[in-house]
Amino acid sequence: MLVLEYKVKGKQQQYRAIDEAIKTTQFIRNKAIRYWMDAPKEMKVDKIALNNYSTALRKEFRFVKDLNSMACQSATERAWLSIARFYDNCKSKKPGKKGFPRFQKDNRSVEYKTSGWSLHPTKRRITFTDKKDIGEVKLLGKWEIHTYPVKFIKRVRLVRKADGYYCQFAVDIEGKHESRTADGELGLDVGLEFFYSDSNGHHEENPRFLRKAEKAIKQAQRQIYKKEKGKNNRRKARRRYAKKHLRVNRQRNEHALRLARCVCKANALVAYENLNVKGMVKNHRLAKSINDVAWSLFRRWLEYFARKFNTTVVAVNPRMTSQKCSDCGAIVKKSLSTRTHKCNCGCELQRDVNAAINILNLARQARDGQSRSNATGLVTSTLVGESLLEQVTRKNVESPCL
């Protein structure tokens, strides 16, 4: 799925109507969670049961009925997503919190599927046809939604962000098949110095815009607290801060997407370290760079493009990958500040490149041994299309609320 995003231009009363639809979505989602929680043990509440429940809610509440029926289903599907995620975490015995579904208070979007809206045949305008009375709004942006047949548009989502309302189209472009251009094998090592270093000796620079933006964001944040509470100026400062945040999130996403696409398009096997990013962010010294490099975002896009280009992406256990010699296997102790790997066998490599080669070797071993045994230290990726869309959007709306 490709997501095309436009800014929405409408009248105040139309924005209020969008807010109302967003509120209804949250209501349905939370009702569905409650329904699942309260269901007797012997009753199986699955995706279909929740779907049926949305029909029941439509009979009960007028304002639910006003929302397009497929949009109501989308709302219960959201509930199902968080329930399913919880079940998966329990099943895979994920350490720590299992993420028991919670009631949402800050929903910012409503999602239509293939009905409840119609695109203007020539102009960039969309009309929402259900009884929420959003009506026709203008779409501002450079993407050309008209270049895709309407039947390719699977979802239309209205999102409230810091600087206004946006309309996102999820377009199914898998039909437009694009194939991999090469069958390379690549190991990636996340460093502090670079965004990543690969097993071919290439270093991908850290995006500087993030460092710069970070400073600006911090400054904007301080401004908020200098203004008096509840006053207009404070609200304005808040908005400035949120806008800056939003901009960085977009840049970060685009950067991760672009890189992940290149990597998957040229390689049949991609290996990376299965870093516990959550654990690492706790480590203060590393926190900045880990957040900066947006590693987890990159990882998600890797999964996405892996599926698209039929690339095998594996996460390997990073233990010893930086200490081991990628040539002879000897352990060469080094501290974080040692930048070169120098082994008695004559192997001399930049530290991260040595690690990247080790990572690739681990992945190869795992791949070759997989038929014989269930390789240890190998984690196969599970994220796929639909949930990715969900997650990426969540990332997008993560910027602070107004």
* Residues engaged in binding Zn ion (CB under 5 A): 325, 327-328, 330, 343, 345, 347
Q: How far is the CB of 270 from Zn ion (least distance, A)?
A: 25
For Zn ion, the closer of residues 328 and 336 by Cβ is 328
Dist CA 399 CA 217 (whole Å): 11
For Zn ion, the closer of residues 101 and 187 by Cβ is 187
For Zn ion, the closer of residues 288 and 342 by Cβ is 342
Q: How far is the CB of 326 from Zn ion (least distance, A)?
A: 8
Contact, 271 vs 187, CB < 8 A?
A: yes
Dist CA 267 CA 368 (whole Å): 17
**CB atoms near residue 31 (< 10 Å):** 22
Q: Which amino acid is at 229?
A: K
Q: How far is the CB of 199 from Zn ion (least distance, A)?
A: 16
Dist CA 211 CA 148 (whole Å): 37
For Zn ion, the closer of residues 283 and 344 by Cβ is 344
Helix (H) or strand (E) holding 156: strand 153-161
Q: How far is the CB of 324 from Zn ion (least distance, A)?
A: 9
Question: Residue 144: left (phi > 0), alpha (psi -120 to 50), or beta?
Answer: beta
Angle at 378 between CA 374 and CA 383, to 5 degrees: 110
For Zn ion, the closer of residues 262 and 331 by Cβ is 331
Q: How far is the CB of 145 from Zn ion (least distance, A)?
A: 55
Contact, 249 vs 273, CB < 8 A?
A: no
Q: How far is the CB of 388 from Zn ion (least distance, A)?
A: 40
For Zn ion, the closer of residues 311 and 322 by Cβ is 322
